[in-house]
């Protein structure tokens, strides 16, 4: 999701030699837009957060304004390769109708003669939303015949589903083999911020990494170690580092097999002149049960039988001071179990500190996205990624299948 216009990022041309939608002549053409409409629902199948739908509106509206026939496709949940009304995209079609201010026809399937007939009757500027791609097991298997069936519906393929770009699925990778393919505006922004800014940050560049496990962030740490000025470590992963340094961490989460790796990463960063911060205090409890007794203790004095569940107030102050002069901030991973009120204060305080910083602020997707929304500061951040696993892989410097499959700019189309 794109926020305040505070960008010093590179263009997609600088960071990736792939076509984008605004480089295609799509007037009167059938344009298949792969979106990420995998939105949450309540028990009455009402959408509770439509931010993923809103994030791809610039691409959809551009295609409509250019006079294209717009065919939208997405997955929703895990229906296990067969139709399941709990995972129908019908409510998304209704929400799109409201957001676009025009009719959105809903197709009962995503391939087949009936869908082809609906598409054949489309006029320029019309919008059709196909039913859940994952109603077909062939989607996740990236089956070629299924990919061809999707490609048969369109003249161009536009991938605007960054959250699925790390998946080698038919609607992400397979279809691109059979159609000229380009990035949508959301995909462009994700690449510009996550790849471009990390490669060429305005300094000082500060990375905040949290979440449960060191193993999930090793790739990011290794990729940014020559580019970052400060690294702030919070969440459960901090206690693997702390135990690796020889301190008692009680029953806090520790990846025993990662202790040597944690020491190596810390040594490498410090040798590179990177300032490395760990929590100095934490909120501890003996269980996650509601009403459980909590204490604030130094991180090196956690009693046995107790575990750290949030960073403490001294750490919040330390981290906030480390952010004070930052010009680029990348944050991926919460500081504690923020879903539980008693252990949410650290994460929310860091969210406010990031929002208040006079810097380009980039937040990774997944839990961090949810945390900044609950902290009420999402509108004050420069960019919030729509992808969890995809954003992590891009930050690790890995090639995402959904991006690699797009048409190279130099290719004649």
- CB-based contacts of 389: which residues, under 8 Å, 6+ apart? 166, 366
DSSP string, 24-49: S--TT-EEEEE------B-TTS-BS-
Annotation says 213 is catalytic:
yes
Q: Is 294 exposed, middle or buried (0-12, 13-18, 19+ CB in 10 A)?
A: middle
What angle is formed at CA 23 by the lines to CA 145 and CA 194, rounded to 5 degrees? 80
Rounded Cα distance between 372 and 352, Å, is 8
Active site residue 307: no
- Please pick, among 213, 275, 327, 352, the residue that the annotation labels catalytic: 213
Catalytic residue, chosen from 196, 234, 366, 387, is 366
The DSSP secondary structure of 141-156, one letter per residue, reads HT-HHHHHHHHTT-SE
277, 256 Cβ separation under 8 angstroms: no
Strands (E), 204-250: 205-209, 230-233
Exposed, middle or buried: residue 327 (CB in 10 Å: 0-12, 13-18, 19+)? Answer: middle
Please identify which of the residues 29, 52, 95, 188 carries the catalytic annotation. Answer: 52
- The upper half-sphere exposure of residue 302, i.e. CA atoms within 13 Å in the direction of its Cβ, equals 30
Per the residue annotation, which of 77, 216, 389, 397 is the catalytic one?
Answer: 389
For the question of residue 409 being annotated catalytic, the response is no
302, 327 Cβ separation under 8 angstroms: no
Closest Cα to residue 138, out of 98, 164, 183, 175? 175
366 a catalytic residue: yes
CB of 249 within 8 A of CB of 239? Answer: yes
Catalytic site positions: 52, 213, 366, 389
């Amino acid at each position: 999701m794109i926020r305040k216009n505070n960008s010093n990022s590179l263009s997609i041309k600088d960071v990736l030699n792939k076509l984008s939608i605004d480089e295609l002549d799509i007037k009167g053409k059938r344009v298949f837009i792969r979106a990420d409409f995998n939105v949450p629902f309540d028990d009455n199948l009402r959408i509770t957060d439509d931010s993923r739908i809103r994030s791809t509106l610039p691409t959809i509206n551009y295609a409509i304004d250019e006079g294209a026939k717009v065919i939208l496709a997405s997955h929703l949940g895990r229906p296990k390769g067969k139709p399941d009304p709990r995972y129908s995209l019908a409510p998304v079609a209704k929400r799109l109708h409201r957001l676009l201010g025009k009719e959105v026809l809903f197709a009962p399937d995503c391939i087949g003669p009936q869908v082809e007939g609906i598409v054949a009757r489309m006029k320029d500027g019309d919008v059709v939303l196909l039913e859940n791609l994952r109603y077909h097991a062939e989607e996740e298997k990236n089956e070629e015949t299924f990919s061809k069936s999707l490609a048969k519906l369109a003249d161009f393929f536009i991938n605007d589903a960054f959250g699925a770009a790390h998946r080698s699925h038919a609607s992400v990778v397979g279809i691109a083999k059979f159609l000229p393919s380009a990035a949508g505006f959301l995909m462009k922004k994700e690449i510009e911020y996550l790849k471009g800014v990390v490669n060429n940050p305005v300094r000082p560049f500060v990375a905040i990494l949290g979440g449960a496990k060191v193993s999930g962030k090793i790739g990011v740490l290794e990729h940014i170690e020559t580019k970052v000025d400060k690294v702030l470590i919070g969440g459960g992963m901090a206690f693997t580092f702390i135990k690796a340094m020889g301190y008692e961490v009680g029953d806090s989460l520790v990846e025993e097999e990662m202790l040597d790796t944690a020491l190596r990463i810390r040594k490498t960063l410090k040798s590179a002149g990177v300032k490395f911060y760990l929590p100095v205090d934490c909120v501890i409890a003996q269980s996650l049960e509601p009403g459980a007794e909590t204490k604030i203790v130094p991180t090196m004095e956690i009693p046995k039988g107790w575990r750290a569940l949030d960073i403490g107030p001294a750490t919040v102050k330390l981290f906030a001071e480390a952010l004070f002069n930052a010009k680029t901030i990348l944050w991926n991973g919460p500081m504690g179990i923020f879903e539980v009120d008693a252990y949410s204060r650290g994460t929310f305080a860091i969210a406010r500190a990031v929002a208040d910083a006079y810097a380009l602020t980039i937040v990774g997707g997944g839990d961090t996205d949810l945390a900044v929304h609950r902290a009420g500061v999402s509108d004050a951040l420069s960019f919030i990624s729509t992808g969890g696993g995809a954003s992590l892989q891009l930050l690790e410097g890995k090639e995402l299948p959904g991006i690699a499959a797009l048409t190279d700019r130099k290719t004649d189309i």
